[in-house]
């Protein structure tokens, strides 16, 4: 592992920390992927998504939470790298499952190399996650390493359960209720984008059971808020050719792609609650169409309906509601220089300037 020349407490701002942490995580990942055969068919593919950028906020949550409760960046680095590797594995598979066109400003991996090679690269990325987590033993000892592994397994299980619900609704032409959507998003984004990394870092920092639970609630709130923000940006941001970065960059996917993929988002649920019979029927038909049969005019119509019906504003309000939940969780946790960065992170991931 690389020698660490900074800490969260000494960073001047969240932006400063994310830049330094992101650079560190990227360096570690690139060093972990072998320079050997089958380079062209496997390892070059594994380097692709990490090389495109990305916010790396899940890794940042691990590092920040660990330092908050008395640990160091060195203590949490392997686990932070594992979360970023898991994120890239999940993106590869998610893009295949949704047949997405672009990721981080470029064509998706399976569209560049075909599904079999992309799928295998994703599988190998997941295998590398567990290599990295097992390497914790030297730094953390056997007992804490096993605790982190068990926690990571829980993160993965909840994520896969949520993904199954998300995909299953599309495959079986099901339109979920708001309550069903909430359950899916808590299992999926709530766990692997918030609760999982936050609790992992706190465990490594040897936080109390109560503190681990509280920071888990904080993480779940920003994870859910982040997903709502992501769904909104899919409709209002035209930045398919830009890659998201630590503190700048675009959304990195095609505008309106969620409609083209037939995804059951909170926006579509809110739209069905608001649209008249004919308009609701048209939205229903668009969401049930195969992607290749959905045209640009239909996507623009759906985006316009989301805006005019008030569905978009409702989801923005939902996002801000979870930002307030996250802030409340922070209020009851102990003061520390990291706490200020966490407060910045709430705005960054949920109610950022994009709204």
Give the chain's domain count.
1
- Band of residue 241 on the pLDDT scale cut at 50, 70, 90: very low
**Distance (Å, whole) CA 271 – CA 279:** 9
Instruction: Count the neighbouring beta carbons within 10 Å of the beta carbon of residue 330.
Output: 18
pLDDT at 353 over 50: no
Average pLDDT over residues 287-294: 88
**Distance (Å, whole) CA 269 – CA 62:** 32
Is the residue at 292 inside a domain? yes
pLDDT of amino acid 237: 72
Is the residue at 343 inside a domain? no
Average pLDDT over residues 132-158: 97
210 closest CA partner among 322, 104, 334: 334
Is the residue at 348 inside a domain? no
Is the residue at 341 inside a domain? no
pLDDT of amino acid 319: 92
pLDDT at 253 over 80: no
Average pLDDT over residues 290-313: 93
Find all residues with CB under 8 Å of 316, minimum gap 6, and list them: 228, 232, 355
**Distance (Å, whole) CA 128 – CA 279:** 47
Q: Whole-model pTM?
A: 0.89
Least confident of 138-142, 236-240, 301-305: 236-240
- Sort 10 into a burial class: Cβ within 10 Å, 0-12 / 13-18 / 19+: exposed
Q: Residue 159 gets which letter from DSSP?
A: H
Show the domain range for 208: 22-334
∠ Cα 209 215 181 (to 5°): 115
pLDDT at 350 over 80: no
Average confidence score pLDDT of the chain: 91
Percentage above 70 pLDDT, the chain:
93
- Band of residue 249 on the pLDDT scale cut at 50, 70, 90: very low
pLDDT of amino acid 290: 87
What are 298's two structure tokens?
């239909």
131 Cα distance to chain centroid: 21
pLDDT of amino acid 6: 83
Instruction: Count the neighbouring beta carbons within 10 Å of the beta carbon of residue 294.
Output: 20
pLDDT of amino acid 292: 84
Q: What is the CATH number of the domain that holds 213?
A: 1.10.600.10
Q: Are strands 106-107 and 102-103 parallel, antiparallel or unpaired?
A: antiparallel
pLDDT at 312 over 90: yes
Least confident of 29-43, 94-108, 193-207: 94-108
pLDDT at 1 over 70: no
pLDDT at 246 over 80: no
Tell me which H or E stretch contains 106: strand 106-107
24 Cα distance to chain centroid: 19
What are 115's two structure tokens?
């599904």
pLDDT of amino acid 348: 79
pLDDT of amino acid 248: 45
The SS3 call for residue 309 is: coil
Average pLDDT over residues 272-276: 94
- Band of residue 98 on the pLDDT scale cut at 50, 70, 90: confident
pLDDT at 182 over 80: yes
Average pLDDT over residues 216-245: 80
Residue in this structure with the two tokens 């700048």, named with its chain if needed: 248
Is the residue at 6 inside a domain? no
> Phi/psi of residue 78, each to 5°?
-60, -40
- Band of residue 99 on the pLDDT scale cut at 50, 70, 90: confident
pLDDT of amino acid 195: 97
pLDDT of amino acid 291: 82
pLDDT at 31 over 60: yes
pLDDT of amino acid 93: 97
pLDDT of amino acid 351: 64
Is the residue at 30 inside a domain? yes
The SS3 call for residue 147 is: helix
Average pLDDT over residues 230-250: 63
Is the residue at 215 inside a domain? yes
Average pLDDT over residues 324-351: 88
- Sort 12 into a burial class: Cβ within 10 Å, 0-12 / 13-18 / 19+: exposed
Least confident of 229-238, 288-297, 299-308: 229-238
Contact 337, 8 (CB under 8 A): yes
The per-residue b/e assignment along 25-45, b for 16 or more CB within 10 angstroms, e otherwise, is bbebbeeebeeeeeeeebbbb
Is the residue at 345 inside a domain? no
Average pLDDT over residues 227-232: 90
- As separate numbers, helices (DSSP H) first and strands (DSSP E) second, the chain gives 18, 2
């Amino acid at each position: 592992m690389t020698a660490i020349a900074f800490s969260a407490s000494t960073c001047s701002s969240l932006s400063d920390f994310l830049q330094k942490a992101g650079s560190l995580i990227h360096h570690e990942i690139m060093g972990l992927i072998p320079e050997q055969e089958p380079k062209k068919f496997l390892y070059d593919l594994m380097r692709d998504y990490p090389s495109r950028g990305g916010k790396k906020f899940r890794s940042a949550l691990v590092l920040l939470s660990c330092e908050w409760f008395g640990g160091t960046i060195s203590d949490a680095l392997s686990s932070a790298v594992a979360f970023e590797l898991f994120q890239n594995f999940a993106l590869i598979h998610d893009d295949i499952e949704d047949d997405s066109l672009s990721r981080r400003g470029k064509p998706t991996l399976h569209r560049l190399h075909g599904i079999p090679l992309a799928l295998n690269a994703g599988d190998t990325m997941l295998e590398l996650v567990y290599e990295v987590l097992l390497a914790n033993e030297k730094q953390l000892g056997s007992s804490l390493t096993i605790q982190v592994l068990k926690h990571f397994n829980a993160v993965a299980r909840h994520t896969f359960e949520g993904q199954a619900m998300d995909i299953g609704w599309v495959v079986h032409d099901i339109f979920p209720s708001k309550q069903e959507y909430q359950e899916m998003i808590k299992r999926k984004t709530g766990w692997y984008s918030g609760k999982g990394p936050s609790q992992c870092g706190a465990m490594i920092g040897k936080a109390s059971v109560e503190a681990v639970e509280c920071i888990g609630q904080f993480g779940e709130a920003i994870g859910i808020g982040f997903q709502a923000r992501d769904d909104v940006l899919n409709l209002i941001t035209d930045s398919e050719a830009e890659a998201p970065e630590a503190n700048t960059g675009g959304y990195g996917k095609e505008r309106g792609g969620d409609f083209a993929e037939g995804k059951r988002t909170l926006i579509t649920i809110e739209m069905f609650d608001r649209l008249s019979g004919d308009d609701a029927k048209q939205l229903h038909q668009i969401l049930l169409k195969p992607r290749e049969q959905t045209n640009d005019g239909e996507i623009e119509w759906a985006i316009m309906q989301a805006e005019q019906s008030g569905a978009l504003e409702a989801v923005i309000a939902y996002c801000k509601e979870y930002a307030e939940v996250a802030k409340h969780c922070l209020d009851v946790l102990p003061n520390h220089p990291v706490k200020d960065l966490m407060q910045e992170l709430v705005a960054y991931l949920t109610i950022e300037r994009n709204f």
